[in-house]
Amino acid sequence: MPGTNGSHDHDHDHDHSHAHDGQHAHETQPVPLALQPYRGLTGSGAPFDGPVAIVGARLIDGSGADPVDDAVLVFEGERITATGHRDTVAIPRDAAILDAAGKTLLPGLIDCHVHFRGAWGYDLLRSLVTPPSLGTLYAVPNARATLEAGITTVRDAGGTPAAVKQAIDRGLFPGPRMLVAVSLLSQTGGHGDSFMPCCIDLRDNGPVDVPKGVVDGTDEMRHKVREILRAGADWIKLCTSGGVLSAADAPESAQFTVEEIAVAVYEAAAQDKRCMAHAQSTRGIKNALAAGIASIEHGIYLDDEAIQMMLDRGVYLVPTLVAPQDVIELAEARPGLLPAYAIEKARHVIDAHRASFRRAVQAGVKVAMGTDSGVGPHGGNARELGLMVEHGGMTPMQAIVATTRSAAELLRLDADLGTLAPGKYADLLMVDGDPLADVRVLADPARIAFVAKGGAAVRSTLTAAKRPVPTAAAH
Ligand SMILES: [Zn+2]
């Protein structure tokens, strides 16, 4: 595909006239920074002409294995073809070379809990003056900001129609790979019920391809889950407890009965899908676990029994530590914006949330990274890793694995994503510096050197040389 790899049909030996003084520009030229623009309705096609070798980075493969210094990773088209120490990888003769010395190469990150639809941040007045289709169009910049931050896969935890995923897959605008929950199932008066105390339901005129998610009883649940799956959901999202931003409930409350949740689990499983539970209260967490959900979102009030149930059932915790912090920061930045109950609840849960997460990590509960972005700004997702280390006692490597391999396993994408190995998609993130020394470098936009999704460069500060640099294994 022309114009995308900076190394096409060019005789570098006769290109000195375009060289910049003092740079080895006869050997290199910039990789275009542009987002892969419209790439045709199939979204397919290799963005580089041939193989690409990333040479010299510290490589963290996402599996939890020790990093490999002075590594080489080769990809061609959408997939990785080779990876390992420079001495062990043969660089194809015709490969474009990306010099990555001093940088760290990781799998593209995976966020298991985002909300792409709508402008980020709670703003009741704004929601009243936003037409439904405008709300959906906000997914365009949200998806782009997320991808440019190195998040190459997300699970959208409700509110976003499947059309957003389809649009990204078709190349209409840039964004991460998506799995979508479409709707947010809630009991009447529960966390996902948008009926306000003034007796207006904010969802009455919501997007038609996001079914309203308020249900009570097993029969309604069965019908609604089938309706949401019909709307293209990959996951079913239920609220089994109250929450921070909802008006009429408490995080400590339980919502839905075990029977109601179990019907959702059954109907999802019948179509090879699984359920995720917004679950903050201890009872709500245990009800969700007893009914067979696959991931606990937030998990603010975990006790020993809940932790044991998660271990026994292999259920993942998606902590979203950054979410209550984002609520508080927004409240402080814009006084008067958030209702008092939301600020109060966010302040109230934050310590319990961190303590629960720490206990879960110590007990060995499986953790997959998620942020609830939409509550906070899109593209700031990797701040969560810093919090996982700071408040959860995770090592930087554990936080990275939770954001790569473990997240891919939760999403059942691990055959293709989550680790850097031959055959996997070339979903890549490269940063200046070493996230094992300070994981917060992953959240610093200035340090993001390269992002690729399926071998397509999303963002790059690197230069490409056509000719392989000498290596022991090149032949
Ligand atoms: Zn959420």
pLDDT score of 11:
38
Share of the chain above pLDDT 90, in %: 76
Specify the higher pLDDT residue, 438 or 458. Answer: 438
Q: At what angle do helices 383-392 and 322-333 cross, to 10 degrees?
A: 110
Measured in Å, residue 85 CA sits from the centre of ligand 1 at 40
pLDDT score of 38:
40
pLDDT tens digit sequence for 255-283: 999 999 999 999 999 999 999 999 999 99
Measured in Å, residue 190 CA sits from the centre of ligand 1 at 14
**Apex CA 379: angle with CA 235 and CA 120, to 5°?**
75
pLDDT score of 419:
98
Query: What's the pLDDT band for 189 if we cut at 50, 70, 90?
Result: very high
Measured in Å, residue 192 CA sits from the centre of ligand 1 at 10
Instruction: Give the active site residue among 237, 286, 345, 424.
Output: 237
Measured in Å, residue 414 CA sits from the centre of ligand 1 at 23
- DSSP E strands in 313-433: the ranges are 316-318, 366-367, 428-432
Measured in Å, residue 186 CA sits from the centre of ligand 1 at 13
pLDDT score of 466:
61
The question of whether 466 is a catalytic residue gets the answer no
Measured in Å, residue 245 CA sits from the centre of ligand 1 at 10
Measured in Å, residue 451 CA sits from the centre of ligand 1 at 25
pLDDT score of 49:
77
Mean pLDDT score across all residues of the chain: 88
- The residue with tokens 């003769």 is 93
- Predicted model pTM: 0.88
Q: Which of 131-145, 227-241, 342-356, 368-382 has the lowest mean pLDDT?
A: 342-356
Measured in Å, residue 41 CA sits from the centre of ligand 1 at 30
The question of whether 372 is a catalytic residue gets the answer yes
CB atoms within 10 A of CB 13: 8
- Looking at residue 415, its amino acid is A
Measured in Å, residue 419 CA sits from the centre of ligand 1 at 26
pLDDT tens digit sequence for 141-151: 999 999 999 99
pLDDT score of 244:
83
Instruction: Give the active site residue among 372, 424, 427, 466.
Output: 372
Measured in Å, residue 342 CA sits from the centre of ligand 1 at 14
Q: CA 148, CA 457: separation in Å to the nearest integer?
A: 10
Q: Tokens in use for 269?
A: 């499983």
Closest CA to 268 of 216, 239, 211, 226: 226
**Apex CA 471: angle with CA 447 and CA 436, to 5°?**
30
Query: What's the pLDDT band for 342 if we cut at 50, 70, 90?
Result: confident
Query: What's the pLDDT band for 42 if we cut at 50, 70, 90?
Result: very low
